Structure 1
């Protein structure tokens, strides 16, 4: 038992081995000699147990988890650079070109122009790793002076969103999923694994010949946050899969890649609050709770649950004592999402109306 190798147990056992006619009281030479020895042995036993934990997927962490999963051909997803679009204009608001490798900055994030799309429109790669490159939009300033440039705009939607380095828990879950499935020769697990390996893809649903017809495979993808993928990302996955046998899809499979369809969810909610509580303080908390629930619904989940939404509202603040009528798109019932290849719905937050009703 592990407790038998703790300091007190070890010291007691060591003292028991000393003859009783020898002074082994605390402060004696024997006691003072054995005490630090027991401490060091207990410390080494603790470290040995910790080392064992680092050897197994369910308890390993950091680089040790990397080494465990690497044996199965799985690697931690590294942070990536966001690919964004910057539009450039002269003083007359006319689109103008700027040199490739021009650098722009917004807040503490910088971008470098890497490719021209068309006159005045450029692809720009963030110079900082991770999701900070996804955050900002609007007016962006050149780092160096560019002749003729009067204004530049960073477009809101990233062409390919960046991701942060994968966490231990995410890597562990992906490892378990991979070893418990059998990706092989164009089965669903194979397509899922290869699609999710593409930078920028965070969610995937595969539709096989059963629903698409013999030889046809439909793939619906989402970005790193599970939102609609950009045309750039769709094209990237489609190119990887190929057509007519020129990609990684097996011979005989015709693969078509698309993204999800946003279903706007408009929510209204009535709440009753304790006497003396401020509705103006509680209202934004309720709005944030509603937003979080809808935004965190998984890419493959088929239902926005009415009861879960009501429970989240009721529990989001101690001053809320009851919840009245709550509707999603005008209905007080579960919202069922269409999950076909033709229409693959993912919920997005629309309008939120929170009102106070009398106790």
Structure 2
């Protein structure tokens, strides 16, 4: 706003107000008297500019944005700790700790004999690792093998500033209140491990409200996560084991019967004819090709909750694959053996399958 009011401009304006018969050259008495004041004024305008930007949510830095959003009861989501399933060759004590590389894990709950829930002690997505061997930090009698086999509730990193800013502005689009759509979506997406949600109202086919979720790593949610969301929104039984759905024991109002489901996935096989640059062949590019396809599918999955259906588009896929070093052209691309875009059902996300070069 005040970027034009630099030190030089301010000093020039001040000197212009001095009579012409007074020496105003650099080093003169009046010049030396005004220059420090011009400098301080320039610094003040910089500070005012910062204050002005900090006042409005669209330009506010993170700390000021947090204070602004607090007025609407909104706060940035903190990093969470991954909950994982560990399998052992003996039963281990609750509270025992294990490690893999720089990560430590603590046993929190027994699922069944030799199978436990573990929590990564380091917050953030770095803890979302599975199929890894564990080493006991403290001695566990009889233990020879320990492995993490599944991510039950994925961790998330601290919410990025721009995502938080978008969420703040989105809060003005609809008012969450007493079980309306905005209320359900806001409460569901705020739960640990949930990356997005879709809401289906009561219909002639079903008197239940249906909410579908995707995990925070944009994959198919585990049964553990689905059960946790169900219990939070509308538990199927109360603490005494009595049928409780629709009775208001969760976030859902009395009379709202809510069923929580997870999204599903479909394996997508990709086949194409590639033309290679000199010195390249399929073996030299296939790993990168696989990564590009996975990243494209992940981009789609991140938009699952905002779209009625996801569409895997051949043109989009080919455009990304043409960016792979060593590939000069692509043709005859098929998705699951069909040379057409793949339109997925509302509850489906794509997962990379086999990748073949014709």
* 1:34/1:250 CA distance change after superposition, 3 Å: same
TM-superposed deviation, 1:56: 1.5
Counterpart for residue 101 of structure 2: 107
Q: Does the Cα contact within 8 Å between 2:267 and 2:350 map onto a contact in 1?
A: yes
Q: Does the Cα contact within 8 Å between 1:4 and 1:10 map onto a contact in 2?
A: no
TM-superposed deviation, 1:164: 0.7
Counterpart for residue 241 of structure 2: none
Q: Does the Cα contact within 8 Å between 1:287 and 1:354 map onto a contact in 2?
A: no
Secondary structure (helix, strand or coil) at the match of 1:308 reads helix
* 1:122/1:10 CA distance change after superposition, 3 Å: same
RMSD (Å), alpha carbons:
1.8
TM-superposed deviation, 1:280: 4.6
Counterpart for residue 93 of structure 1: none
- Where structure 2 has 5 or more consecutive residues not aligned to the other structure, the ranges are 235-244
Secondary structure (helix, strand or coil) at the match of 2:94 reads coil
Q: Does the Cα contact within 8 Å between 2:199 and 2:210 map onto a contact in 1?
A: yes
The superposition leaves residues 133-183 of structure 1 with CA deviations (integer Å, 9 ceiling, x where unpaired) of 11253210001111111111111x211111111011111111122221122
Q: Does the Cα contact within 8 Å between 2:282 and 2:357 map onto a contact in 1?
A: no
User: What CA distance in whole angstroms lies between the structure 1 residues aligned with 2:73 and 2:204?
Assistant: 31
User: Is 1:259 matched up with 2:262?
Assistant: yes
Counterpart for residue 343 of structure 2: 336
User: Is 1:299 matched up with 2:304?
Assistant: yes
* 1:345/1:17 CA distance change after superposition, 3 Å: same
User: What CA distance in whole angstroms lies between the structure 2 residues aligned with 1:153 and 1:162?
Assistant: 18
- The count of corresponding residues between Structure 1 and Structure 2 is 342
Counterpart for residue 182 of structure 1: 175
TM-superposed deviation, 1:269: 2.0
* 1:64/1:158 CA distance change after superposition, 3 Å: same
User: Is 1:324 matched up with 2:331?
Assistant: yes
* 1:190/1:275 CA distance change after superposition, 3 Å: same
Runs of 4+ aligned residues of structure 1 deviating over 6 Å after TM superposition are none
User: What CA distance in whole angstroms lies between the structure 2 residues aligned with 1:134 and 1:4?
Assistant: 49
TM-score, length-scaled by structure 2: 0.90
User: Is 1:348 matched up with 2:348?
Assistant: no
1:218 to 201, 210, 221: 210
TM-score, length-scaled by structure 1: 0.90
User: What CA distance in whole angstroms lies between the structure 1 residues aligned with 2:5 and 2:260?
Assistant: 58
Secondary structure (helix, strand or coil) at the match of 1:346 reads strand
TM-superposed deviation, 1:277: 5.1
* 1:276/1:110 CA distance change after superposition, 3 Å: closer
Secondary structure (helix, strand or coil) at the match of 1:54 reads helix
* 1:322/1:336 CA distance change after superposition, 3 Å: same
User: Is 1:75 matched up with 2:78?
Assistant: no
